Structure 1
Amino acid sequence: MVRKSRAVSASRPSSRLKTASKTGGKATDVELQLGKRIAALRAAVGFTLDRLAADAGFTKGYLSKIENSKVIPPIGTLVKIAQVLNTDLAALFGNNMPDAANDEAICVVRSWERETAIRGGSSFGYDYVALAHKRHHKQMEPFIMVFPSEVDKDIRFEHEGEEFMFILAGKVEFEAEIGGRTKTWILSAGDSAYFDAEIPHRGRSLRGESQALVVIYRSRSDETATD
């Protein structure tokens, strides 16, 4: 039986998919290999670049830049790609070699084992540290996210599923577009937000280094099985 992920709806206008220029520092090993892994996983399921672009709701040119490591996309984009390829972020980030940790019912990641998945300098200013990268085929993707102080006014993020955000430190301005109108909340340490991730959203730091625990949930009901 072959599983196929349900095609995700087209994303917002292309201005929201602008590439972010890399700023300073070397790219992480994960970032350097990300494009190659996406290309390999796409080929493994028999998808052309055109097919992946159509199903994920991005342009072929944008996906080509990702596969050729010319742009490092945000987590929301990677979630869409993983959904269409019927995989999870662990595979995109390179944790695709089975080991004992992946097979255990409980996945424990020590503080020193955390992996920086995407750095702010190349992902619209946001840092993402993976918290459950050892576990495959999971329905939740937990991260520690560090907010930038400035975000391009045209940038919003949206993807299928649900998202939970718990502010760990600092103060965050959180925006979401609901019914064509922008709503804004100021969130401090201890505050949280739970929302439909298809709602265009973004956040920026208002004070110091603002961090949040972010959990992205994708229901397996989003997938359909065909013979």
Structure 2
Amino acid sequence: MDDSVTPPIAVPEPGSDPSSDVDAVGPRIRAIRTAERLSLRKLAERSGLSVGFLSQVERGLSSLALSSLRSVAAALERPMTDFFGPTDADAALADDALVFTLTRAADPSRRVVSGGRYYELLSSRSPGLVLEPMLIYVEPGGTKEPGIGHEGEEFVYVLSGELVYEIAGTEYRLWAGDSLHLRSNTPHRVYNDGVEKTVVVSVVTPRHG
């Protein structure tokens, strides 16, 4: 065997077709907004996102990054967890000195689907834990949403495909094996302008409530 050849990275596939997932975030936003009798224009004003972009998200024509979803959740006065499905992951609390969660491979995924993006949470909630680990699938193409900043930090590691991070107006292209770590208060946006699906491991702070 040629030791100079790097073996391919095995990438898991999501358990179901994201395009047909009942947890799609667009319909959830629309349902909550209409229940609150809130116009799309008013939601745009509160969230800082454009009417046109939010309309595309609600119709499943555009992806909504979690940073923007946080803004929408705040505008609707809802916790981020309202947009994710249930999970049966094991959680353990021993005492104040030991706090952890245990998520089994066979457990149902806690996920949200937004246009061409599929977010799968990799741990359940437990007091005292601040990291939000996720597996994210990003389909190629789609509308580029405005760059946005938010509190905390984020880290991303590309498992397959390619991804563009635009940070303060400068583009950084990542391929499989590349990683990026930034303070999230810097305006940034992420997109896939390649021809194949990109899969990344992402860790952000704070957790999504």
TM band (smaller chain): 0.5 to 0.7
Judge conservation of contact 2:136–2:199 (CA < 8 Å) in 1: yes
The SS at the match of 1:30 is: coil
Counterparts in 2 of 1:26 and 1:186: CA distance versus 1, 3 Å? closer
Where in structure 2 are the equivalents of 1:80-159 lying within 5 Å?
Answer: 80-95=71-86, 106-113=100-107, 114-118=109-113, 123=115, 125-132=116-123, 134-135=124-125, 140-152=131-143, 154-159=144-149
The residue that corresponds to 1:196 in the other structure is 184
What is the CA–CA distance in structure 2 between the aligned matches of 1:219 and 1:129, rounded to whole Å? 14
Give the superposition deviation at 1:108.
3.0
Q: Give, in angstroms, the shift of residue 28 of structure 1.
A: 0.8
In structure 2, what is the Cα distance between the partners aligned to 1:206 and 1:194?
23
4+ runs deviating over 6 angstroms: 99-103
Deviation, 1:144, is 0.5
Letter in 2 for 1:35: I
Counterpart position of 2:22: 29
Identity rate, percent? 14
Distance 2:156 2:175 in 1: 9
Mapping of residues 201-212 of structure 1, within 5 Å: 201-204=189-192, 210-212=198-200
**2: CA distance, partners of 1:195 / 1:151:** 25
RMSD: 4.3
SS in 1 for 2:20: coil
Whole-Å Cα distance in 2 between the matches of residues 37 and 140 of structure 1?
Answer: 29
Q: Deviations over 1:27-64 (max 9, x none)?
A: 21112762366338x74xxx844654322113567657
In the aligned structure 2, how far is the partner of 1:170 from the partner of 1:211? 5
Give the 3 Å change call, closer, same or farther, for CA 200–218 of structure 1 in structure 2. same
Higher helix share: 1
The offset of 1:202, in angstroms, is 1.4
Instruction: With the length of structure 2 as denominator, give the TM-score of the two structures.
Output: 0.60
Alpha carbons of structure 1 residues 158 and 28: separation in structure 2 relative to 1, 3 Å: same
Give TM-score, length-normalised by structure 1: 0.56
Between the aligned partners of 1:65 and 1:205, the Cα distance in structure 2 is 18
**Residue 32 (structure 2) pairs with residue 38 (structure 1):** yes
The answer on 1:186 being equivalent to 2:179 is no
Higher RCO, 1 or 2 (CA under 8 Å, sep at least 6)?
1
For residues 68-105 of structure 1, give each alpha carbon's deviation from its aligned partner in whole angstroms, at most 9, with x where no partner exists.
Answer: x533751333211223445432122254x9x9978965
One-letter amino acid of the counterpart of residue 160, structure 1:
H
Aligned length: 181
CA distance in 2, matches of 1:37, 1:136: 29
